[in-house]
Amino acid sequence: MASNKKYWKSVEELNENSSIVASLEQNEFNEGQAPESFLGDKETLEASSTTRRDFLKYVGFTTVAASLAACEGPVIKSIPYVVKPEEVTPGIANYYASTIADGFDFANVLVKTKEGRPVFILPNKEAKGTTNARVNASVLSLYDSLRLRGPKVKGNTASWSDVNGKITAQLETLSNAGEKIVILTGTLASPSTDALIADFAKKYNNVSHVVYDAISESAALDAFQEVYGERALANYKLEDAKTIVSIGADFLGDWQGGGFEAAYAAGRDVKAGKFSRHIQFEGNYSLTGANADKRVVLKPSEQAYALINLYNAVTGQNLASKKTPGDAAIKQAAAQLKKSGSKAVVITGIQDKNAQLIALAINNYLNSEILDTTNVKYVRGGNDAEVSTLIAELKAGKVGALITYNTNPVYTLAKSADFKAGLKKTKLTVGFSSKEDETLNEMQFALPTPSYLEAWGDVKMTASQYSLTQPTIKPLFDSKQFQDCLLAWSGQTTSYYDYLSAYAKSDVLGDKSWNTTLHDGFAPLSATVLSASDIDVTAAASAFKSGIKSGAFELTLYSSVAMGDGQQANNPWLQELPDPLTRASWDNYLLMSKADADELGFSNPIKDNGAINGQYATLTVNGVKLENVPVLIQPGQAKGSLGLSYGYGKTKALKEEMLVGVNAYSIAFGGSQVVSVENTGGDHLFACEQLQHTIAGRHDILRETSLEQYQHGHAEEWNPRPEVSLKHQETDVNKVDLWEDHDRSIGHHFNLSIDLTSCTGCGSCVIACHAENNVPVVGKHEVRVGRDMHWLRIDRYYTSEGDAITDNKKTNSASSEDSAELYQKLETPEAINPQVAFQPLMCQHCNHAPCETVCPVAATSHGRQGQNQMAYNRCVGTRYCANNCPYRVRRFNWFKYNSNDEFDFHMNDDFGKMVLNPDVVVRSRGVMEKCSMCIQMTQATILNAKNEGRAIDVNEFTTACSSACATGSIKFGDINSPEDEVTELRKDKRAYRLLEFIGTDNNVVYQTKIRNTNEA
Amino acid sequence: MSSHYEAPIREPLVLGEKSYHDITMDIVKPIEGKANKNWYVAFTIALVAFLWGLGCIAYTISTGIGAWGLNKNIGWAWDITNFVWWVGIGHAGTLISAVLLLFRQKWRMAINRSAEAMTIFAVFQAGLFPIIHMGRPWNGYWVLPIPNQFGSLWVNFNSPLLWDVFAISTYLSVSLVFWWTGLLPDFAMIRDRAVKPFQKKIYALLSFGWSGRAKDWQRFEEVSLVLAGLATPLVLSVHTIVSMDFATSINPGWHSTIFPPYFVAGAIFSGFAMVQTLLGVMRKVTNLENYITRLHIEYMNIVIMVTGGIVAVAYASEFFIAWYTGSPYENYTYMSIGAATGPYGWAFWSLILFNIAIPQLLWIKKFRRSFIVSFLISIAINIGMWFERFDIIAIVLSKGHLPSTWTRFEPTFVDVGIFVGTIGFFFVLFLLYARTFPVIAQAEVKTIMKSSGEHYKQLRDGKNEH
């Protein structure tokens, strides 16, 4: 049934006669008015209320509105786990035992990971591992944004299958043609890799493996091999030594792979009743020289004669030699050695096989028990002769294929041009590296390797220990291990992991399980005793003597504490780590004595902005010139001795800011060299953190005494308590207080003790602090103008006159005759041979903190556990606290140091940011920051114990610096826990607190430095 | 404040044959007339400097304090130097208007208005620095004890910086009220004379409805007296508290009990020097030679000599005590051999020259009464007092307790720009003031016409030659 409902469209329809209704009925589909009818009509247009200007306004508004609506807020990708890995709990750290072996630094480490990211490297103390600054910093090198991200063939990206196919095919062709295939690597010390290379050599003909160390220890290896029949380095049990005589060996630095500082410090422990005497003969001022009890300044050629003289003095023989200025000291040293007998040791850093033989001969003559020829070291294996042969063969076009791994010869070879020319003549060149470095740039195949934190491996650092490397993160980039590639090329289908575990199980571990070893990071091995053959000292000495080159200037190249061999040159933490002696960062420089500098017209003026400048020198060695080497005057540098560090002057795979320094390798022709120096003037801008090099008569700051005084003198004499007048009575400063003190006996009360005797100044703690606390890197210019952000710094003081003890006496008696000359004398370090003392300095966590009272907004206040705390988000940045801090440990965020292109370091890219410790906030611009005594670590310790329902263990509390310290100089703990080591240390008779007379009642305690001044 | 008898031997404070109407005319001339070319030139220079300073401040706030030359060991330098310098300059105004009022020194009447204007403008500049020297000035209000939602956060009443906040804001507000009170009858006078309606409206507003009744005058006198009583302790307190920024700290060279009186004397010293500088120019430019006379200049010079003497003694005692302690930590304070021979020797000797040596010329009466010599000496003192603060801050911070922290400071263009900018801002304000405000308290000057006006004195003493 059809509906007859009628719908009304409007009231108008009621009116039957409506014309509108009628016209609408006629015209149902009304056409719109044609635009021409109104746009074409000027009059209508002018009458329109919408003017052209209005129209533009509307257009403008809608455009802006549309574009605004198109904008989105920043999207932060935060993806939760779909399937959470069992061992990863956000906020809870995991630790993996692993081993770093980058060819220069070898160490057993623990890798701390947070949410699957490695963020911190600790020493694996169970494996007796120690970490230096570079090892600590290696975690940041993992996140280097300039790492090679995928394989490249002749500069073009390629796939791994493609690359492997091409290389295998070429290798087969070359092998069949009988061409030479050379694998050139740095020291690997990896038994499984050695086995793998042997397998590879079975598959292809004519394969040889050449080991090349950028900083060679070939002389020592050759000497040891000659006497003991194995290519290894002798070890030294310095913890038992009574006398250590070192001629030019920087054994607290990187000499023979380093790692001796823990044993050295253990042998100088007054509590344990032993204290070795260390006599150092050297030309440059090394870290080792700074720690020596007696340092004798000799330039390299004189050191060489001194070694023969020492042999003569010890053995009573009369080998031909020459007189040196150090002969008196040599006689005394010989007497000391003989007195200590088998507890004495002689070591030398002279890069000459015969010199090493003489040192071995002296040790054998002394029946030295310190020289350890059983537990030998494999951390250097380079063979200079083989490398020279290889270069010659390459140049002659006799090599068919060259595979490099863990080495950067184009950068580190003095004959780099020959090497490069040789590469052009080689049919197949394959380079493995994590960076597209100087060498990879020259290779046909540039293949990325993972960082040791992403890789498997095994390392045999010493004869008595087998260590494993395990991945702690999935490879960040499309990289493959060298070993996996070798396996693929040799036609094996197993992965390196399978190969490694099979190798370890069958050849190394015996009964010990793979899993336990992997968990521990190491397994002990039994070392075989090596039998010694006789040393022909006479022949060695005469050969040695004839090879001694002397000249007006003798250059010794050394590896700097921060940069080592230079493979981590793109690591901003290391670039900004000040050298312990010069306290300059972001640079290498020619070290020169004051006398030579005066002669050649070099100077280091201090500029008005508190920065040091210098001039450039041109060095000529064997006709090779090295230009634009800035000169830094080093007190205590032997006249005629020059020093220049390796590791700088790299050009490839570096951020712009890191393109600093000169390449010392370009003039490294082995050993110390006679050079000529020319002053070319100019203005070099140094980034030096310390301008005043002496203590300026303020001996309270750095207390030092002799072993004699310590053992037999009164503590009040060498460690006097500061006193103030109270009611006209001299009273101990700590007993004078305006206020009632808080009761600090309940809960934890953290203290930090720093032993100035065992602190070698190595800077490991500084980097550990950077890593743990997200300390920003500020770059060369900012360091130069005094704006470094180090929460922990190591002050270095030279004596202004002779040794510290005489210095102290002289200046104390002189204080009554104040004069400008006296000031001049106190302020200037002795030029010839000053002594050095290091003082690590962080926030002293004063119980009566001067910073706390002056902050208008109470952003810094005292913690219940002894910390002086800093509430970053409360800080308004008046910097009053920093001005009122007598220790000047507070650091201000002058700029925004993260996500700022002006500071293009790790905090400016997404990879670098992965190293940030999620437990510590990244500070914003305009706030003050400083050492927190790692409160995030102490709180974590407390919470762990609480969760586990137990009391906190003895010495369980640690900070980043205390855990990184290899010598145990920095100890942290709770003084309310009587068993904690620090409780005793605080009361020790050596203990003093910095500037105690101010009455700040610090929670950081220093232990007076002791030197063994007893002559035999 | 009625007229008292003044001995004929005393020099008159108002020179020339001035009638009451003449005074009115002299004072309103710059307000009602047109500015000359010199004014425009000066104003343009000041404005450019001010804008440049604003740019530098904007740059600092947008990039960070790193734009300045400061470093980890020298956390303050030009910022706080300028702050203390400007606060010090501000001191003369209150001293002249409050203390001299209580001591019934009638010579203050010619200079108090401008001195107080100078005070207020100087305190503006001073107040700028504590704000912009903060790393996060946008959080600057946290230094105020405002009840807040941040939790139990409160300001730290132990901090001298907080005392500064109170001292400076109190000082500014009291000075402003005092100044304005004095201005009321003068604004009313301008209002009454104004012919343009807009101008009349403005001055009517500024004069707060002053009617000139006897009751108005009575209250005016009472309020002036009360405010003078309130302001007098402020003269001492402000710079005492500013000095405590240093004195309560533990830096050798800052930690010194002598600082409060020494700083107050120094502040008055520098404040009077700045008044001399400004009035030396103003009396010429605005033809006020008959009101600001040699006698005024001489009186101010005497105050400068007294306070300069106190300052010199303070320097000497600082030097002596530092040496006498025998402590090696005192060897490099800003008053020590270490400072005199160190890298900041030039700053040390500038201070001695400008602040001690040059002002000694004022012992000679001829110089004391010479406009040009006084002007030049006042400039020297302004420079010297700036160096005093720079020395105290930068030299002391550059040689802290630990020699490893010794460093140096070099200002950047931003440091300089901001300082120049504040000088520009100061003169912008002062030049505007000189064109729109009655620069001499004419109502007050009129009260001493009969007792100390040259003309009336001559009439009274029968020496009228006319």
| Three-state SS annotation for chain B | CCCCCCCCCCCCCECCCCCHHHHHHHHHHHHHCCCCHHHHHHHHHHHHHHHHHHHHHHHHHHHCHHHCCCCCCCCCCHHHHHHHHHHHHCHHHHHHHHHHHHCCCHHHHHCHHHHHHHHHHHHHHHHHHHHHCCCCHHHHHHHCCCCCCCCCCCCCCCCHHHHHHHHHHHHHHHHHHHHHHHHHHHHHHHHHHCCCHHHHHHHHHHCCCCCCCHHHHHHHHHHHHHHHHHHHHHHHHHHHHHHHHHHCCCCCCCCCCCHHHHHHHHHHHHHHHHHHHHHHHHHHHCCCCCCCCHHHHHHHHHHHHHHHHHHHHHHHHHHHHHHHHCCHHHCCCCCCHHHHHCCCHHHHHHHHHHHHHHHHHHHCHHHHCCHHHHHHHHHHHHHHHHHHHHHHHHHHHHCCCCHHHCCCCCCCHHHHHHHHHHHHHHHHHHHHHHHHCCCCCHHHHHHCHHHHEHHHHHHHCCCCCC
Average pLDDT over residues A424-446: 94
Considering the domain architecture, whether residues A388 and A442 belong to the same structural domain is answered as yes
Tens of pLDDT along A637-689?
999 999 999 999 999 999 999 999 999 999 998 888 999 999 999 999 999 99
Considering the domain architecture, whether residues A207 and A305 belong to the same structural domain is answered as no
Tens of pLDDT along B92-107?
888 888 888 888 888 8
Tens of pLDDT along A629-651?
999 999 999 999 999 999 999 99
Asked, for residue B214, whether it belongs to a domain, the answer is yes
Residue A39 pLDDT greater than 70, yes or no: no
Asked, for residue B462, whether it belongs to a domain, the answer is no
Residue B162 has its nearest CB partner, among A606, A856, A927, at A856
CATH number of the domain where residue A742 is located: 3.30.70.20
Q: Which domain holds residue B75?
A: 20-146+160-457
Tens of pLDDT along A973-1014?
999 999 999 999 999 999 999 999 998 989 999 999 999 998
Minimal CA separation from A863 to chain B, in Å: 16
**Chain B nearest-CA residue for A858:** B156
Asked, for residue A358, whether it belongs to a domain, the answer is yes
Asked, for residue B9, whether it belongs to a domain, the answer is no
Average pLDDT over residues B446-451: 83
Asked, for residue A693, whether it belongs to a domain, the answer is no
Tens of pLDDT along A80-103?
788 888 888 888 899 999 999 999
Residue B234 pLDDT greater than 60, yes or no: yes
Q: State whether A895 and B64 contact (CB < 8 Å).
A: yes
**pTM for the full model?**
0.90
Considering the domain architecture, whether residues A239 and A321 belong to the same structural domain is answered as yes
pLDDT at B462: 67
Phi-psi domain of A910 (left: phi exceeds 0; alpha: psi -120 through 50; beta: other): alpha
Q: State whether B402 and A850 contact (CB < 8 Å).
A: no
Asked, for residue B70, whether it belongs to a domain, the answer is yes
Q: Does A20 or A590 have the greater pLDDT score?
A: A590
Confidence of residue A6 (pLDDT cuts 50, 70, 90): confident
pLDDT at A28: 67
Question: Which residue out of B157, B405, B412 would a mutagenesis test of the A interface target, given it has the greatest number of A Cβ atoms within 10 Å?
Answer: B405
**Chain A nearest-CA residue for B402:** A887
Number of domains in chain B: 1
Asked, for residue B362, whether it belongs to a domain, the answer is yes
Q: State whether B326 and A884 contact (CB < 8 Å).
A: no
Number of domains in chain A: 5
Considering the domain architecture, whether residues A940 and A977 belong to the same structural domain is answered as yes
Considering the domain architecture, whether residues A483 and A402 belong to the same structural domain is answered as yes
pLDDT at A374: 92
Between A9-13, B271-275, B424-428, the lowest mean confidence (pLDDT) is in: A9-13
Between A41-50, A478-487, A677-686, A938-947, the lowest mean confidence (pLDDT) is in: A41-50
Q: State whether A877 and B337 contact (CB < 8 Å).
A: no
**Chain A nearest-CA residue for B141:** A876
Q: Does B67 or B103 have the greater pLDDT score?
A: B67
Q: State whether A816 and B326 contact (CB < 8 Å).
A: yes
pLDDT > 90 fraction of chain A, expressed in percent and rounded: 78
Q: State whether B402 and A786 contact (CB < 8 Å).
A: no
Asked, for residue B369, whether it belongs to a domain, the answer is yes
Q: Does A593 or A13 have the greater pLDDT score?
A: A593
Question: Which residue out of B59, B61, B72, B139 would a mutagenesis test of the A interface target, given it has the greatest number of A Cβ atoms within 10 Å?
Answer: B72
Average pLDDT over residues A366-394: 93
CATH number of the domain where residue B309 is located: 1.20.1630.10
Q: State whether B137 and A925 contact (CB < 8 Å).
A: no
pLDDT at B1: 42
Average pLDDT over all residues of chain A: 91
CATH number of the domain where residue A319 is located: 3.40.228.10
Asked, for residue B117, whether it belongs to a domain, the answer is yes
Q: State whether A926 and B397 contact (CB < 8 Å).
A: no
Considering the domain architecture, whether residues A205 and A295 belong to the same structural domain is answered as no
Residue A926 has its nearest CB partner, among B65, B160, B407, at B65
CATH number of the domain where residue A184 is located: 3.40.50.740
pLDDT > 70 fraction of chain A, expressed in percent and rounded: 96
**Chain A nearest-CA residue for B67:** A894
- Tokens linked to B194: 């104004």
Residue A113 · residue A93 · CB < 8 Å? yes
Confidence of residue B466 (pLDDT cuts 50, 70, 90): very low
Distance CA B385, CA B304 (A): 12
Average pLDDT over residues A516-529: 92
Minimal CA separation from A61 to chain B, in Å: 30
Tell me the chain A residues in contact with residue B159 when contact means C-beta distances shorter than 8 Å: 853-856, 858, 880
Considering the domain architecture, whether residues A711 and A674 belong to the same structural domain is answered as no
pLDDT > 90 fraction of chain B, expressed in percent and rounded: 64
Minimal CA separation from B274 to chain A, in Å: 28
Q: State whether B410 and A818 contact (CB < 8 Å).
A: no
Q: Does A32 or A547 have the greater pLDDT score?
A: A547
Average pLDDT over all residues of chain B: 90
Tens of pLDDT along B12-38?
888 888 888 988 888 888 888 888 888
Asked, for residue B275, whether it belongs to a domain, the answer is yes
pLDDT at A808: 64
Residue A883 has its nearest CB partner, among B154, B397, B410, at B397
Residue B132 pLDDT greater than 70, yes or no: yes
- Tokens linked to A205: 């003909």
Asked, for residue A79, whether it belongs to a domain, the answer is no
Minimal CA separation from B128 to chain A, in Å: 13
Asked, for residue A33, whether it belongs to a domain, the answer is no
Residue B128 pLDDT greater than 70, yes or no: yes
Domain end among A119, A142, A165: A142
Tens of pLDDT along A173-220?
999 999 999 999 999 999 999 999 999 999 999 999 999 999 999 999
Q: Which domain holds residue A676?
A: 549-688
Considering the domain architecture, whether residues A811 and A955 belong to the same structural domain is answered as yes
Minimal CA separation from B29 to chain A, in Å: 46
Considering the domain architecture, whether residues A264 and A316 belong to the same structural domain is answered as yes
**Chain A nearest-CA residue for B151:** A874
Q: State whether A787 and B66 contact (CB < 8 Å).
A: yes
Asked, for residue A18, whether it belongs to a domain, the answer is no
Residue B161 has its nearest CB partner, among A609, A797, A854, at A854
Of the candidates B206, B181, B46, the residue with the CA atom closest to the CA atom of residue B112:
B181
Considering the domain architecture, whether residues A247 and A210 belong to the same structural domain is answered as no
Say which residues have a Cβ less than 8 Å from residue A51's Cβ, sequence separation at least 6: none
Q: State whether B134 and A696 contact (CB < 8 Å).
A: no
Considering the domain architecture, whether residues A749 and A833 belong to the same structural domain is answered as yes
Confidence of residue A472 (pLDDT cuts 50, 70, 90): very high
Residue B113 pLDDT greater than 60, yes or no: yes
Average pLDDT over residues A401-417: 93
pLDDT at A37: 67
Minimal CA separation from B351 to chain A, in Å: 19
Considering the domain architecture, whether residues A967 and A947 belong to the same structural domain is answered as yes
Between A296-310, A472-486, B439-453, the lowest mean confidence (pLDDT) is in: B439-453
Residue A819 pLDDT greater than 90, yes or no: no
Confidence of residue A818 (pLDDT cuts 50, 70, 90): low
pLDDT at B101: 84
Domain end among A688, A715, A739: A688
The alpha carbon torsion through A222, A226, A230, A231 (nearest 10 deg) reads 10
Q: Is the ipTM of this complex over 0.90?
A: yes
Tell me the chain A residues in contact with residue B349 when contact means C-beta distances shorter than 8 Å: none
Q: State whether B403 and A701 contact (CB < 8 Å).
A: yes
